């Protein structure tokens, strides 16, 4: 078994193997250690890789968002012991190593027709409440950063904006829609991704407030 220092050096080497190049869409991923890493997703500021033969992921931030790594790492450290959030194992100048969470995001639940229930909402409320108890201000909560695991537990990821000062209403808005529409028997539980993205675009423009 390798010593901890060797493991940390290994994570750093894996992060350094990830290469991005600028393009019209922002950046493109052009290289990474294909023997050790499997890409599993990307977002507005980072790519995420499953580290093979482990239950961990490597999250690598691309330019100009590298500084988010240290900020998000600090927040995960503040959330240490709260089981609704992944454990932080390591971080560097542009990367994090955290638990790999099996399951579907709320967005994927809607796309695949995986039914959500009030227990999930209660767990999310509890997770956010525990973050507030630790001096954080949960923000930017959306359908892509809440995961329902195969054991029906809720996990939250992407916590970089949990120290924003402004009050974020996104989760309260999602919850309002859940209780006003989603739990009704007639309401569809499966939606095409393109429709969900269209609804999200309208939401960002504040064009849906009268519906919830």
**What are 9's strand-pairing partners?**
none
The DSSP symbol for 84 reads T
List phi, psi (to 5°) of 40: -125, -5
For 136, the token pair is 């954080």
- Does 71 appear as a known binding residue? yes
Q: Tell me how far apart the alpha carbons of residues 130 and 141 are, in angstroms, rounded to a whole number.
A: 15
Task: Give the pairing type, strands 88-91 and 104-105.
Answer: unpaired
Q: Which long-range contacts (CB under 8 A, 24 or more apart) does 99-103 make?
A: 99/55, 99/56, 99/57, 100/50, 100/51, 100/54, 100/55, 100/56, 100/57, 101/147, 101/149, 101/155, 101/157, 102/149, 102/150, 103/147, 103/148, 103/149, 103/150, 103/155
CA distance 183 to 178: 6
- Could you give the CA distance from residue 70 to residue 65 in angstroms, rounded to a whole number? 11
Set 140, 152, 158, 173: catalytic member:
140
Assess whether 152 carries a catalytic annotation.
Answer: no
Detail the residues annotated as belonging to a binding site for ATP: 71
Catalytic residues: 140
């Amino acid at each position: 078994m390798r010593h901890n220092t060797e493991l940390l050096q290994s994570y750093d080497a894996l992060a350094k193997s990830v290469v991005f190049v600028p393009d019209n869409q922002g950046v493109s991923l052009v290289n990474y250690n294909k023997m050790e890493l499997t890409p599993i997703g990307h977002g507005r500021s980072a790519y995420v890789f499953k580290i093979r033969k482990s239950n961990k992921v490597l999250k690598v931030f691309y330019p100009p968002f590298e500084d988010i790594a240290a900020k998000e790492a600090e927040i995960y450290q503040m959330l240490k012991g709260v089981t609704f959030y992944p454990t932080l194992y390591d971080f560097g100048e542009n990367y994090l190593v955290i638990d790999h969470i099996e399951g579907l995001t709320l967005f994927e639940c809607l796309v695949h027709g995986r039914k959500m229930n009030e227990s999930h909402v209660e767990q999310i409320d509890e997770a956010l409440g525990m973050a507030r108890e630790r001096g954080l201000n949960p923000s930017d909560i959306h359908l892509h950063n809440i995961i329902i695991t195969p054991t029906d537990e809720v996990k939250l990821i992407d916590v970089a904006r949990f120290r924003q000062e402004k009050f974020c209403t996104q989760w309260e808005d999602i919850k309002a829609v859940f209780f006003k529409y989603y739990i009704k028997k007639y309401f569809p539980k499966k939606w095409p991704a393109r429709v969900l993205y269209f609804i999200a675009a309208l939401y960002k423009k504040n064009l849906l407030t009268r519906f919830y």
